[in-house]
Chain A
């Protein structure tokens, strides 16, 4: 069957098997391997992408169900203005070690900040509670998201610097 969706701002149309999961559509059909794939059981959250702006576990959604919708993956985080403040926050506060959970964590953080630009620690911990990090102990992830909240214009500044 044919699916059409917007991925990181660009419309894509592909022939897929109805049973193809969104995570495999992104990784294999589109080659966007920034979306990671881990537990396969809807638990770890490394496969999280934004669908219509909301974090969704892409191993538990069909590509077919996503047709007509808007998807944002980690590849779409950095814009023309440079890295997203969330990405800069993860760099500044050491929000990753192996990086396996990082794409999902950053997208959930982006969605949280879009809805609540100044979340406290409890709110951040709640927002990422469906995602597992085996490396950092979460403290640095929370600090990374706080960094992004405190530097909302970081990307614009970056652009000024590079322009």
Chain B
């Protein structure tokens, strides 16, 4: 029977109270949101907090708010709520692409966007999604709030800009006219973590040329965006040869490691193939493509 080591439990009902509890209980206090990363780690003694601060009752952290030019998503928003949100799917179809393949529907009833980004698992999907959408993360601490861009927030596997005594309160997604976005993942079986995944966002101008591009990879050893891949796309009109070149550059930027989910050459092949696919879909969703074959 796997049971966490003993700890004390406290429940917060506001961000201020959660911060106060984190401060009072010091270094060994940890927030719990959905608990679907933290509790498995505690069962395995990979995490051993003395205090667990439950933020599930912090209602101010649970919202999806559309504003001119941006969408604000509270950190406690569940995967299932993102997937069920019409506005999220309309503005950022990449989020729905990813959410459909994050874990399974039951896990998605509990897991949260804030917990996912804060956990920063190397195979975690929403970090790539937030990277390519150029999202910002709002972090609350004793001295108030700060807003950090994804490249600054996500420092690497299991490491973020959110300190132990701080809370991720919100993720902000800029809305871009003419944007199309997509995510595709290969998994060994339904509900599993990615063998590999890719995400892309393209902005096309009225003439059909790419004005902004972002490509990201999941579980492929690349931190942050595939900048060379994006660079060849900008200023060009979408077509298969261009996507093939961008995908080649994304695969070259990847640094996969062999594990139970597959060998290096297979994963690099996936980086290439999945990048092509998400570029096609993102371009088609941006609305300017009729000639390129979908795949």
* Contacts from A to B (Cβ < 8 Å): 1, 17-21, 24, 40-43, 45, 48, 54-57, 60-62, 64-65, 67, 108, 126-127, 129-131
Distance of B159 from chain A, by nearest CB (Å):
23
User: Could you say which residues of chain B place their CB within 8 Å of the CB of A19?
Assistant: 3-7, 42
- Given known A21-B3, A56-B110, contact A126–B35 (CB-CB < 8 A): no
* Contacts from B to A (Cβ < 8 Å): 1-9, 11, 32, 35-36, 39-40, 42-43, 52, 54, 56, 80, 103-107, 109-110, 190-191
- Given known A48-B106, A130-B106, contact A18–B190 (CB-CB < 8 A): no
User: Could you say which residues of chain B place their CB within 8 Å of the CB of A62?
Assistant: 9, 32, 35, 39, 52, 54
Interface centre among B42, B103, B105, B110 (most CB of A within 10 A): B105
* Residue from B1, B36, B105, B191 in contact with A55 in the complex, judged by beta carbons closer than 8 Å: B105
User: Could you say which residues of chain B place their CB within 8 Å of the CB of A20?
Assistant: 3
Instruction: Find out whether the CB atom of A65 lies under 8 angstroms from the CB atom of B32.
Output: yes
- Given known A40-B1, A65-B54, A129-B191, contact A60–B105 (CB-CB < 8 A): no
Contact sample, A vs B, 15 pairs, CB 8 Å cutoff: A40-B2, A48-B106, A55-B105, A57-B110, A60-B36, A60-B110, A61-B110, A62-B32, A62-B54, A65-B56, A67-B11, A108-B106, A127-B105, A130-B105, A131-B104
CA–CA, A42 and B2, complex, Å: 11
CA–CA, A64 and B106, complex, Å: 19
Which residue of B has the minimal Cβ distance to A66? B56
Instruction: Find out whether the CB atom of B109 lies under 8 angstroms from the CB atom of A55.
Output: yes
Distance of B260 from chain A, by nearest CB (Å):
15
- Given known A19-B7, A55-B106, contact A61–B191 (CB-CB < 8 A): no
Instruction: Find out whether the CB atom of A1 lies under 8 angstroms from the CB atom of B105.
Output: no
User: Could you say which residues of chain A place their CB within 8 Å of the CB of B1?
Assistant: 24, 40
User: Could you say which residues of chain B place their CB within 8 Å of the CB of A129?
Assistant: 104-105, 190-191
Instruction: Find out whether the CB atom of B104 lies under 8 angstroms from the CB atom of A130.
Output: yes
Instruction: Find out whether the CB atom of A1 lies under 8 angstroms from the CB atom of B106.
Output: no
Which residue of B has the minimal Cβ distance to A127? B105
CA–CA, A20 and B42, complex, Å: 12
Instruction: Find out whether the CB atom of A130 lies under 8 angstroms from the CB atom of B107.
Output: yes
Instruction: Find out whether the CB atom of B106 lies under 8 angstroms from the CB atom of A56.
Output: yes
User: Could you say which residues of chain A place their CB within 8 Å of the CB of B36?
Assistant: 42, 57, 60
Instruction: Find out whether the CB atom of B9 lies under 8 angstroms from the CB atom of A1.
Output: yes
* Residue from A17, A60, A65, A130 in contact with B40 in the complex, judged by beta carbons closer than 8 Å: A60
CA–CA, A145 and B93, complex, Å: 30
* Residue from A43, A55, A61, A131 in contact with B39 in the complex, judged by beta carbons closer than 8 Å: A61
Which residue of B has the minimal Cβ distance to A130? B104
Distance of A28 from chain B, by nearest CB (Å):
10
Distance of A26 from chain B, by nearest CB (Å):
14
User: Could you say which residues of chain A place their CB within 8 Å of the CB of B105?
Assistant: 55, 126-127, 129-130
CA–CA, A157 and B54, complex, Å: 44
- Given known A18-B52, A55-B106, A131-B106, contact A42–B40 (CB-CB < 8 A): yes
User: Could you say which residues of chain A place their CB within 8 Å of the CB of B107?
Assistant: 42, 57, 60, 130
Interface centre among B9, B40, B43, B80 (most CB of A within 10 A): B9
Instruction: List 6 tightest A-B contacts by C-beta distance, closest first.
Output: A130-B104, A18-B9, A130-B106, A19-B4, A64-B9, A40-B2
Distance of A20 from chain B, by nearest CB (Å):
8
Distance of B123 from chain A, by nearest CB (Å):
15
Instruction: Find out whether the CB atom of B106 lies under 8 angstroms from the CB atom of A65.
Output: no
User: Could you say which residues of chain B place their CB within 8 Å of the CB of A57?
Assistant: 36, 106-107, 110
Known: A18-B52, A129-B190. 6 other contacts (CB 8 A): A41-B40, A42-B36, A60-B40, A62-B52, A65-B54, A108-B106
Instruction: Find out whether the CB atom of A18 lies under 8 angstroms from the CB atom of B7.
Output: yes
Distance of B12 from chain A, by nearest CB (Å):
12
Distance of B107 from chain A, by nearest CB (Å):
6
* Residue from B5, B42, B54, B103 in contact with A64 in the complex, judged by beta carbons closer than 8 Å: B54
Which residue of B has the minimal Cβ distance to A45? B106
Which residue of A has the minimal Cβ distance to B3? A19
Instruction: Find out whether the CB atom of A60 lies under 8 angstroms from the CB atom of B35.
Output: yes
User: Could you say which residues of chain A place their CB within 8 Å of the CB of B106?
Assistant: 45, 48, 55-57, 108, 130-131
CA–CA, A41 and B42, complex, Å: 11
CA–CA, A12 and B191, complex, Å: 34
